[in-house]
Amino acid sequence: MDAKEIIARRVALELNEGDIVNLGIGLPTMVPRFLPPDIHITLQSENGFLGMAPLEGEPLPGIVNAGGTPCGIQIGAAFFDSAMSFALIRGGHIDVTVLGGLQVDEAGNLANWMVPGKMVPGMGGAMDLVSGAKKVIVAMEHCTKDGEARLLRLCNLPLTARSRVSKVITELAVFKVSAAGFVLLETVSGVSIEMIRERTEAGFAISDDIKPMPLYS
Amino acid sequence: MDAKEIIARRVALELNEGDIVNLGIGLPTMVPRFLPPDIHITLQSENGFLGMAPLEGEPLPGIVNAGGTPCGIQIGAAFFDSAMSFALIRGGHIDVTVLGGLQVDEAGNLANWMVPGKMVPGMGGAMDLVSGAKKVIVAMEHCTKDGEARLLRLCNLPLTARSRVSKVITELAVFKVSAAGFVLLETVSGVSIEMIRERTEAGFAISDDIKPMPLYS
Amino acid sequence: MKKIVEWAEIGPMFSDGVSIMFGGFMGVGTPLGIVSALIESKVRNLTLIGNDTAAPTTGIGPLIDSGQASKVIVSHIGTNPVTGKKMIAGELDVELVPQGTLIERIRAGGSGLGGFLTPTGVGTVAEEGKQKLTVQGREYLLEIPLRADVAIIKAKKADTAGNLVYERAARNFNPVIALAADLVIAEVDEIVDVGEIDPDHVMTPGALIDKIVVRMGG
Amino acid sequence: MKKIVEWAEIGPMFSDGVSIMFGGFMGVGTPLGIVSALIESKVRNLTLIGNDTAAPTTGIGPLIDSGQASKVIVSHIGTNPVTGKKMIAGELDVELVPQGTLIERIRAGGSGLGGFLTPTGVGTVAEEGKQKLTVQGREYLLEIPLRADVAIIKAKKADTAGNLVYERAARNFNPVIALAADLVIAEVDEIVDVGEIDPDHVMTPGALIDKIVVRMGG
């Protein structure tokens, strides 16, 4: 099981029956396939609907995800315009958003939309999602490809939003973000707290109730 | 022909083919029946539709005007919610609004929603309509029942909106409101300028092009 | 979560002192069964937020008449003499808000906006106590968001997932208040199976609706 | 006013330097025939306002590729490398706006609002140059309205009065930009007689639509 799948499987356990969920591009889109069978969620898509589903059969006119790629819809889906879509997003009507991250810091700040001089794709709907969703889960690999920490004291990349991250889930550990900073809740089997400290620039508390990361399979 | 009908007939001549029009309660609702046959307008109703028409036959579910009274709809009507209704009203998508008035003054201020201590019905949509319509026509009798002037130097009743009135049409005369104040454009046959001065507290200029009030019949 | 409920469950959803947004223009689009349930429940000290107070026996009017409301936030009260009488007697606090500002304040409350700038009311009594800002050379009032504890909605049809369809001018405030309350209850003429409403025709997504009750004698 | 026009009439509706709002998400809901007509018309120095710049050969992309745009106001450009290249080369001014803020700025421009307060972007580069206000204890950015000279819309169906119906997620920005431009042109798959669209299913009222053109090869 690669890092991405470990993360996606663990994120799936964060979702509750009936949740309205918006998934960012990349890793987060893997989450639904790991949902427990008794958990049914409704996916919101920024371009204007509730009830996104995987494509089954031929693409149908206008049924595309926010990336313009054909997708399916659940029975009971509803379409609307972009103003309504972001009324839902900013207005607290999305229970959970799962987003990739470049950096998260102790204040719950997230940077995930821009690397100055390298990648300036635009923030799309990410700033609104992070500002508005009830719960913001960042799903990212613990370190960069070059081994640099992503859980930092203070983000040094341009922020997506301030103080909005609820949880960070990596292939090594699960943290919540409290008013006092990161709290380590779970570690993956075989990973020591020391190892996590080495790979984490940010300080973190250790939950009294620390557990092994459950991996549903 | 009573004063109200004189006013309604003259207002009808202000409307152009294709105009989107919102009519206030009372006298303004008489206007459509005096439209020239080649002029087709679309009536907007605050409660959320375009294409209001007189009731023909039995009332139909949900087809009511802003007062809750059954009405009809034109072919090609469209319904929407109140937020959209006032996006249209405030956003300059209504070509003309025709409203009754209590007082209008030289600055184009209108008072038509409240008489302190006597009548506090609430402004409803009037403040939005007067703020947002492209052209605001006040259709009112020239004086109160007690003979007091309604075209004033300065309104003394609480205002509906500041500096938004384009034209005032009474049973005696038609005025436009310019940056410099009222300009008398038309008088009804048999009414002298002196008589209008007697019944008008506001000062007014006289158009170089003053005409008799045409009455379509 | 079970969305479809019985009438007996409606009354207990309300308690003294709650704020309630209601749909309807002069009663058209107001959930009359829920209004009746509120009267039977005898909850008091309600704040009612909607377009108007209709007439004493129509729309939200009976809740004014019964004395259960201590405050209304509406755009007009002229059609219900009881509202005016109770206001003058000091029994009812009446906040009058221009109609377009009222619906936009509700939309802001439901959309996560901190407020908006409107030209409506500038230079009138509606500007009292409000901040004025000049943007691009024009003066505006800063209006702040409005939310409620409960929204009571009237729709023509719901599917079992709570997707709603309104009929003609009975739509009015309903889709907007569905965004702006902690608990959203819809009274509908009929409930159809999920999937029976074309996803393009849904006017309020089921995700916004917490409870559905079918109109009595429907 | 004759609303239904021929393709030959479309090009001459635009002139150098105009601002154009366009519907569409990655090209889905963008009026591709009007984009082609703009390319043929060779108008230059355009400001394009919409969700994204799609890809070089899809949606609004060809107008970036052709060098006819001097400015874009969008929420992302990452899917179109040409946009990035022209930006870096100094040939294209790119204003990035959070998606929810962008659509709300357009709605404000079309609704007569002077602006709105949003939490989106507080504490980020998006707050540069903007006024911050605190309402009810929370900090917000004041965002100002956005309008354009022309809006170009893609709908599934129009009636002869201009009432529009969109299909599925192709709705997106289209109903909102219809409010916010001086000239509104809709490209549609088909035109039906007035009266054929149920008044409850109209998504953009015909009163907002100035010109209608039927998709080629439709």
Strand partners, D176: none
Contact assignment for A123 to D175 by CB distance below 8 Å: no
Q: Which two tokens stand for residue A142?
A: 């613990």
Domains of chain C from N-terminus onward: 7-101+145-214 (3.40.1080.10)
Nearest to D96 by CA among D121, D79, D125, D76: D76
Give me the pLDDT at residue C1, please. Answer: 63
Instruction: Residue A16: give the domain boundaries.
Output: 3-212
Is A78 within a domain? yes
Q: Which residue of D has its CA nearest to B132?
A: D112
Domain containing residue A76: CATH number: 3.40.1080.10
pLDDT of residue B119: 79
- In whole angstroms, give the CA distance from residue D190 to residue D187: 9
Residue D199: CB atoms within 10 Å? 22
D19-22 vs D132-135, strand pairing mode? unpaired
| Cα A52 from Cα A78, distance rounded (Å) | 9
Phi, psi of B29 (to 5 degrees): -70, -15
CA B193 to CA D12: how far, in whole Å? 50
Q: Which chains touch A (3 or more CB pairs under 8 A)?
A: C, D
The residues on B that touch D, with CB distances below 8 Å, are: 17-18, 20, 42, 44, 49-51, 73, 75-80, 86-93, 131-132
Q: Name the average pLDDT for chain B.
A: 96
pLDDT above 70 for B72: yes
- Domains contained in chain A, number: 1
C206 Cβ under 8 Å from any chain A Cβ: yes
> Checking DSSP bridges between strand D46-49 and strand D19-22, what pairing results, if any?
parallel
Per residue in D182-199, pLDDT (tens digit) is: 999 999 999 999 999 999
**Residue B19 in domain:** yes
The answer to whether the beta carbons of residues C109 and C146 sit under 8 Å apart is yes
In a domain, A217, yes or no: no
pLDDT recorded at residue A217:
55
Answer yes or no: are the C-beta atoms of C179 and C111 closer than 8 Å. yes
Q: Which of B14, B17, B46, B106 is catalytic?
A: B46
Task: Give the model's pLDDT for residue A118.
Answer: 85
At A210 the pLDDT is 96
Which of A169-178, B110-119, B160-169 shows the lowest per-residue confidence on average (mean pLDDT)?
B110-119
Classify residue B62: in a domain, yes or no.
yes
Q: Tell me, what's the pLDDT at B216?
A: 59
Provide mean pLDDT across the span C68-72. 98
Taking contacts as CB-CB distances below 8 angstroms, the residues of chain B near C31 are: none
Mark whether B46 is an active-site residue.
yes
Neighbours of B196 (CB within 10 A): 20
Pairing of strands B103-105, D181-192: unpaired
Alpha carbon distance C118, A36 (integer Å): 48
Q: What's the rounded mean pLDDT across residues A71-82?
A: 98
B114-135 confidence digits (pLDDT tens): 999 887 899 999 999 999 999 9
pLDDT of D2 reads: 85
Residue A20 lies in a domain: yes
Cβ pair D116:C112 closer than 8 A: no
B67: nearest CB among C26, C170, C176: C26
Asked if the structure places residue B189 within a domain, the reply is: yes
SS3 assignment, position A194: helix
Above pLDDT 70, what percent of chain D?
A: 99
Which band of pLDDT confidence, cut at 50, 70 and 90, is reported for residue B217?
low
Position D218 pLDDT exceeds 90: no
Coil vs helix vs strand at C94: strand
Cβ(C174)–Cβ(C153) under 8 Å? yes
The tens digit of pLDDT for each residue in C184-195 reads 999 999 999 999
Confidence category of residue C57, pLDDT binned at 50, 70, 90? very high
What is the complex's ipTM, to 2 decimals? 0.98
Q: What single DSSP character describes residue A27? A: G
**CA C217 from centroid of its chain's CA atoms:** 23
pLDDT at A1: 78
Mean pLDDT computed over B78-107 = 98
Each residue's pLDDT tens digit, D38-61: 999 999 999 999 999 999 999 999
Mapping DSSP to helix (H, G, I), strand (E, B) and coil, where does residue C154 land? strand
Tell me what the mean pLDDT of segment A114-139 comes to. 94
Cβ contact C199–A73 (<8 Å): yes
pLDDT per position as a tens digit, B17-38: 999 999 998 899 999 999 999 9
Give the separation between CA D32 and CA B61, rounded to whole angstroms: 40
Q: Which residue has the higher pLDDT, C1 or C136?
A: C136
Rounded Cα distance, A60 and A70, in Å: 7
User: Which is it for strands B173-178 and B167-169: parallel, antiparallel or unpaired?
Assistant: antiparallel
User: What are the pLDDT digits (tens) for A23-39?
Assistant: 998 899 999 999 999 99
Chain A residue with CA closest to D124: the answer is A159
Does the pLDDT value for residue B202 go beyond 80? yes
Task: Report yes or no on A44 lying in a domain.
Answer: yes
SS3 A185: strand
pLDDT for D109 beyond 60: yes
pLDDT at D211 over 80: yes
pLDDT attached to residue D198? 98
Q: Is residue B217 part of a domain?
A: no
List chains adjacent to chain C, taking adjacency as at least 3 C-beta pairs closer than 8 Å.
A, B, D
Residue B215 confidence (pLDDT):
74
